[in-house]
Amino acid sequence: MSLFKRKHKASSRRERIIVTEGAARFGSYGYTRLRDNLLYISADGNRKVLQIESALAKEGKTTVTANLAVSLGLTNKKVVVVDLDFRRPRLHRVFGLARENGIAEYMVNTIDRDGIIKHTTYKNVDLVTRGGTVYNPALILVSEKFKELIAYLREKYDFVLLDCAPVLQVSDYIHISKVSDGALFLVSYGKTTKAQVADAVKELNKNDIPVLGTLFTMYDRKKDARYGYSYGGYYGKYYDEAYGDMKKATVADIEEVDEIGTKK
Ligand SMILES: Nc1ncnc2c1ncn2[C@@H]1O[C@H](COP(=O)(O)OP(=O)(O)OP(=O)(O)O)[C@@H](O)[C@H]1O
Ligand SMILES: [Mg+2]
């Protein structure tokens, strides 16, 4: 064994999953709100397969996917999180599980669809990892076998959360949208520019991908006392029957969010 073997980086669930069953931890309130909004708009069961998207890398997609799953699981919803960030799969680390035996192995029939479902230590939350290296994710995403997997998960679970790669970097989201019911779109506070958000939202709109909600991540409460409670990374705007039927987010909607976020 190499002397220089890198110690497994502690991007552990201790650091990254803040939702707990007991007393609310600092920051977890945002996830509770997100979960409750999601439960509300999904009450008819038609919005259960969700792609978690953002314009750029490192905006908190994996973190939100994991915490939202744990939060939903605590309300007795059965949830599976699926790692569809084929280039930078990280969900397994957040849950402290092995990456092996995932979608890549399922695609080549090394293992069947039930074999790739891993139980996490969190109540009602299962995980499907990427598995081994995937050189051409698009080929997987357009395949019937992949679509069958998601259809199977849709039947088996109340929610299927798809952790995706950044919209402005990889076009996988277009293929993924064929199996999802819509997207949650994250914006990293103070980092992602309005133009980048607008570009990403235009891409989603162009491909008819409904944005079911927008969220702020990396919120710095010190910078804005007005939304001081939402450190956990959430500011949501949901479209439901009260506002008319579900609609696609427009750039104007996102600008409104951006404006709130940058307000001093
Ligand atoms: N709400 C938050 N506040 C502060 N830091 C956060 C928040 N959410 C995530 N982070 C941290 O930011 C980093 C990136 O988060 P994460 O991996 O979830 O982003 P991502 O969008 O999935 O990135 P990638 O596109 O590379 O997969 C991590 O170190 C994570 O711990
Ligand atoms: Mg990620």
Cβ of 89 less than 6 Å from ligand 1: no
CA of 45 to the centre of ligand 1 (A): 29
For residue 61, which ligand has an atom nearest its CA? 1
Per residue of the chain (264 residues), give pLDDT as tens: 444 444 444 444 445 888 877 655 666 778 888 999 999 999 998 999 999 999 999 999 999 999 999 999 999 999 999 999 999 999 999 999 999 999 999 999 999 999 999 999 999 999 999 999 999 999 999 999 999 999 999 999 999 999 999 999 999 999 999 999 999 999 998 889 999 999 999 999 999 999 999 888 887 766 655 543 333 333 333 332 222 222 344 444 444 443 333 322
| Global pTM value | 0.84
For residue 217, which ligand has an atom nearest its CA? 1
Helices marked H in 127-182 — which ranges?
137-141, 144-156, 172-176
Residues by chain with Cβ below 5 Å of ion ligand 2: 61-62, 85, 90
Q: What is the pLDDT of residue 110?
A: 95
CA distance 141 to 176: 7
Q: What is the pLDDT of residue 24?
A: 59
CA of 184 to the centre of ligand 1 (A): 15
CA distance 128 to 118: 6
Cβ of 118 less than 6 Å from ligand 1: no
Q: What is the pLDDT of residue 4?
A: 43
In order of start, what are the domains of the chain with their CATH numbers? 30-40+47-262 (3.40.50.300)
CA distance 131 to 246: 35
Residue 93 has, within 13 A of its CA and on its CB side, a CA count of: 12
Q: What is the pLDDT of residue 21?
A: 76
